[in-house]
Structure 1
Amino acid sequence: MQSYEMIVFDCDGTLVDSAVMISMLYEGYRVMYPNRSPLSYEHFIPCYFQTDEENCAYLEIPPEDKERFEDICFHQCENEMNTVKPFPGIDELLIELYRRGYALGIATSRSYAAFYELKNQLTEEAFACFSCIGVQDVVAHTKPAPDVLLYIMQKTGYSSGQLLFVGDSMNDALCAKAAAVDFVWAKWGSVTPVTLPCSYAIETPQELLTIL
C-alpha cells in the first residue's frame, strides 16, 4: 500500500455541502436577467466547481453586472448560505487524521476571502488541523490545471507520491492526474452522475481511514 504523508482536500462538495450554491445561482440568474432565454438547472452545475470569474464568463455576466449579480445570488440569500455545513463525519475525520500524524491541506478554487468562510463551517479544532492552503489567489491556473497541488508540494516539500488528494469533481480528478497525485473520489459530495477516474472511490468520509 502506498505510504502517504499528506492528505489534501477539495473544499466544496468534499469538506462542506455547499450544493445550495447551484440553486442560488440559478434563481439569481432568473432574477437578474428575466428577458434572457431561460437556462436549465443542470446548466448551473459546472458553476459549483469554477471560480467567480469563470462563472461570470460561463454565464455571460458582463463585468459591470458582476457585483450586483453576486449580491442577488448570495448576499440577499444569507439564510440559504447558513445551510452550508460540513458533511457528517468530516470534523471527526480531520481530527483523527491529524492525530495519526498526517499533514493536512486544502486545494480549492475559492479565493482567500471565500475560503475563510470555512472557519465558520468547521469546528475550531478541525480547522486548525490544516497546515497548507492552496486557493485561486496563489496560482496562475485553477483546477483542472495542476497548479494548486504543485503549489502545496512546493510549500511543504512533499513529493507527488506522498500526497493523496480527496475531491468530488472531474476538475479535481484531472488536477490530481496532471500533478501525478493519487486521487480519492469522495462520492458523498458528487452532484453529477459522471464516473471519475480515481485511485480510490469511497462512500463516506470515515472510509478514507481504511485506505491509509
Structure 2
Amino acid sequence: MNQKVIIFDFDGTIADTVDALVSIANRLALEFGYIQITPEELAILRGLTSREIMKYSGISVFRVPFLVKKVKGELKSKIVDLKPIPGIEEALFNLHYQGYKLGIITSNSQENVTSFLKLNHLDTLFDFIYSGVTIFGKTTIINNVLRQKQLKAKDVIYVGDETRDIEASKKANIQVVAVTWGFNSPEALASYNPNFLIEEPSQLLDVLENAKKDTVK
C-alpha cells in the first residue's frame, strides 16, 4: 500500500492566527472598503462560506488579491507571537512517527509559514509547502500538487478548518477531515458533509487510521 499523504491547511488548522487576522483585517477595513469585524460579526462570519463572506462584507472581488497580499505582509511581523493550535504539535509528531507524509497548502505566504514552523520546531515534519492566493477554493492548487508530486487521489487526505477546504477536496476527489477549532463553525462544516469532523487534534491519528482502512477495503 502506498504511503498516506496528509495535506494541511495552515491558518486556523495548524497556527492559531484567527485573532491576528481579524486585527489586521479591521485595520485595513477603511482602506479596502468593507465593514469592521466585531465579536458579534465574527460569530456571523464563522457560519458563512467564502462567497457569502464576500457578499456580506461588501468588498469588491477585484480588490481581494491586493487585500490578501497586504494581510500576508502585515502578518509577517506577528509570526513570532503566534502559537500552534493547542495539541496540534503532538498530533503532527505522532503522524510523522507513524510514517505519514505531511504537507501544507495555504493562501498565506511560504515565508510566513516557514518562519512559523521553524520558530515552533515543526519544520522537519513537512515534506512540502505550497502557497497560492485562493479566493473561493483550493481545487486547482490541490490538483497541481497531486500532479507535481505524482500522488494518487486515493492516497491523499486534506485537513482544514473552512467549508472551502471541504468543497475543494471533494472536487479533487480526495478525502477531507474538517476541524472545528479554526474559522468556520461546526455547523457550517457539517453542512458540507466532510468525510470526518473532529473537535481535537488528538483525534487526527484515529480518523486517519480509519481512513486508511477504508481505502484498503
TM-score using structure 2 length: 0.71
* Equivalent of residue 127 in structure 2, options 123, 131, 134: 131
Structure 2 contact 7–156 (Cα < 8 Å) conserved: yes
Larger relative helix fraction: 2
Q: Distance in 2 between matches of 1:9 and 1:115?
A: 12
Q: Distance in 2 between matches of 1:61 and 1:143?
A: 11
1:9 maps to which residue?
Answer: 8
Secondary structure in structure 2 of the residue aligned to 1:183: strand
Q: Which amino acid aligns with 2:12?
A: G
Moved more, 112-121 or 7-16: 112-121
1:179 maps to which residue?
Answer: 172
2:214 maps to which residue?
Answer: none
Q: Which amino acid aligns with 2:188?
A: V
Superposition deviation, residue 172 in structure 1: 0.6
Secondary structure in structure 2 of the residue aligned to 1:16: coil
Superposition deviation, residue 105 in structure 1: 0.8
Matched length: 190
| Compared CA separation, residues 70 and 107, structure 1 to 2 (3 A) | closer
Structure 1 contact 85–121 (Cα < 8 Å) conserved: no
1:102 maps to which residue?
Answer: 100
1:84 maps to which residue?
Answer: 82
Identity of aligned residues (%): 22
2:59 maps to which residue?
Answer: 59
RMSD: 3.6
Structure 1 contact 168–185 (Cα < 8 Å) conserved: yes
Superposition deviation, residue 144 in structure 1: 1.2
| Compared CA separation, residues 160 and 60, structure 1 to 2 (3 A) | same
2:24 maps to which residue?
Answer: 24
Q: Which amino acid aligns with 1:97?
A: L
Structure 2 contact 11–17 (Cα < 8 Å) conserved: yes
Q: Distance in 1 between matches of 2:125 and 2:148?
A: 16
Superposition deviation, residue 210 in structure 1: 1.0
Superposition deviation, residue 92 in structure 1: 1.5
Superposition deviation, residue 109 in structure 1: 1.4
Structure 1 contact 109–135 (Cα < 8 Å) conserved: yes
Please list every run of 5 or more consecutive structure 2 residues that lacks an aligned counterpart in the other structure.
210-217
| Compared CA separation, residues 206 and 135, structure 1 to 2 (3 A) | same
Q: Which amino acid aligns with 2:95?
A: L
| Compared CA separation, residues 88 and 202, structure 1 to 2 (3 A) | same
| Compared CA separation, residues 179 and 120, structure 1 to 2 (3 A) | same
Q: Distance in 2 between matches of 1:13 and 1:182?
A: 19
Q: Which amino acid aligns with 2:99?
A: G
